[in-house]
Amino acid sequence: MAKIIAGLGTSHVPAIGVAMDEGKTQEPYWKSLFEGYGPVRKWLAEVKPDVVILCYNDHCAAMPPDTIPTFAIGVGDEFKPADEGWGPRPVPVVKGDPDLAWHLVESLVLDGFDLTIMHQLQVDHGLTVPMSITCGQPKEWPFKVVPIEVNVVLYPQPTGRRCYALGQAIRKAVASYDKDTKVVIFGTGGMSHQIHGERSGLINKEWDTAFLNDLTANPQRLVDLTHVDYIRDAGAEGIELIVWLIMRGALNDQVKEVCRHYHVPASNTAAGLIVLENR
Ligand code: DHB
Ligand code: FE
């Protein structure tokens, strides 16, 4: 049987990908950020998942603003890195898992989550930067990926509560997949940040720390947060954190925090990462 053994939440700051692609990780600005990724890389290499269900948001790179699904799932064999204006990132093509993806589609749609089914999907920094953060720079990515994409870039976005419920439905769907498959689920985005307007550069460390604490111990508080709560306290782009709630909803009520990393600054944002294992 398939099993979700752990969840991972991480920021997906594009500049982190650029620093890796351009060999700048040892420069003073980046060194301690990347040192902090050592434990998660070690953990993931030991866990060796067969598949990662990777929940993220596109930034109008692969999905143009005139056609934005609220939730979408990639069912293809592979997903190429998107061109975000500077050419595609020089990272491996992401391998899909069509069998698991179609099983998720059937189970989720019957459970009331009508995801848009993407046969073709190019993946932007929301997906590729977390791959780089957690795997480094291998020739091939070490696991298959089922991408689940969430609209957080255009109003109205789904609620955090809806994202958490989607995670619970993913948990149920994976539990009914009969191939032996070790699954880890990622949620990417955040943490507090705003990249435009008067409050550009906003970072709220206290709020981020409380979010990380409660993700482990009291996710119901986070499920109750409104869009306005995120925008006021975590900045306009802090809303990306609703994607982490899909990951948390897919885990057991009781989880063990196995690693955490929080670093300021990374571009305009605080970079955060957490790994939670199912108890
Ligand atoms: C930044 C962060 C993001 O999550 C993003 O999608 C784009 C930019 C930033 O901090 O620069
Ligand atoms: Fe983003």
Close Cβ partners of 66 (under 8 Å, ≥ 6 residues apart): none
Looking at ligand 1, which residue's alpha carbon is closest to its atom 1?
13
What amino acid is encoded at 62 in this protein? A
pTM (2 d.p.): 0.98
Mean pLDDT of 257-276: 95
pLDDT digits (tens, 9 = 90+) for 119-143: 999 999 999 999 999 999 999 999 9
3-state secondary structure at position 278: strand
Mean model confidence pLDDT for the chain:
97
Q: Is the pLDDT of residue 74 over 90?
A: yes
With pLDDT > 90 as the criterion, what percentage of the chain qualifies?
99
Q: How many angstroms does the Cα of residue 193 sit away from the middle of ligand 2?
A: 9
Active-site position among 12, 59, 103, 125? 125
Model pLDDT, residue 20: 98
The number of helix segments (H) and strand segments (E) in the chain equals: 10, 10
pLDDT digits (tens, 9 = 90+) for 165-175: 999 999 999 99
- The rounded distance, in Å, linking the Cα atoms of 74 and 89 is 19
Of the candidates 257, 248, 243, the one whose C-alpha atom is nearest the C-alpha of residue 213 is 257
Q: Which atom of ligand 1 is nearest to the CA of 11?
A: 4
Q: How many angstroms does the Cα of residue 107 sit away from the middle of ligand 1?
A: 33
Model pLDDT, residue 198: 93
Torsion of CA 83, 87, 88, 90, to 10 degrees: -170
Mean pLDDT of 217-246: 97
The response to whether residue 70 sits with its C-beta less than 6 Å from ligand 1 reads no
Mean pLDDT of 56-70: 95
Q: How many angstroms does the Cα of residue 12 sit away from the middle of ligand 2?
A: 6
Looking at ligand 1, which residue's alpha carbon is closest to its atom 10?
268
CA angle 124/128/129 to nearest 5° reads 110
Model pLDDT, residue 210: 98
Q: Is the pLDDT of residue 268 over 90?
A: no
- DSSP letter for 114, please: -
| Residue 196 is a catalytic residue | no
Number of residues that this document lists for the chain: 279
Q: Is the pLDDT of residue 98 over 90?
A: yes
Active-site position among 12, 59, 103, 193? 193
The response to whether residue 236 sits with its C-beta less than 6 Å from ligand 1 reads no
Neighbours of 244 (CB within 10 A): 31
The response to whether residue 13 sits with its C-beta less than 6 Å from ligand 1 reads yes
With pLDDT > 70 as the criterion, what percentage of the chain qualifies?
100
The response to whether residue 268 sits with its C-beta less than 6 Å from ligand 1 reads yes
Residues 78, 95 contacting (CB under 8 angstroms) = yes
Q: How many angstroms does the Cα of residue 86 sit away from the middle of ligand 2?
A: 17
Ligand nearest to the CA of 56: 2
Mean pLDDT of 109-119: 98
Looking at ligand 1, which residue's alpha carbon is closest to its atom 9?
268
3-state secondary structure at position 202: coil
Residues 269, 13 contacting (CB under 8 angstroms) = yes
What amino acid is encoded at 129 in this protein? V
pLDDT digits (tens, 9 = 90+) for 197-229: 999 999 999 999 999 999 999 999 999 999 999
Q: How confident is the model at residue 79 (pLDDT cuts 50, 70, 90)?
A: very high
Model pLDDT, residue 116: 98
Q: Which atom of ligand 1 is nearest to the CA of 57?
A: 6
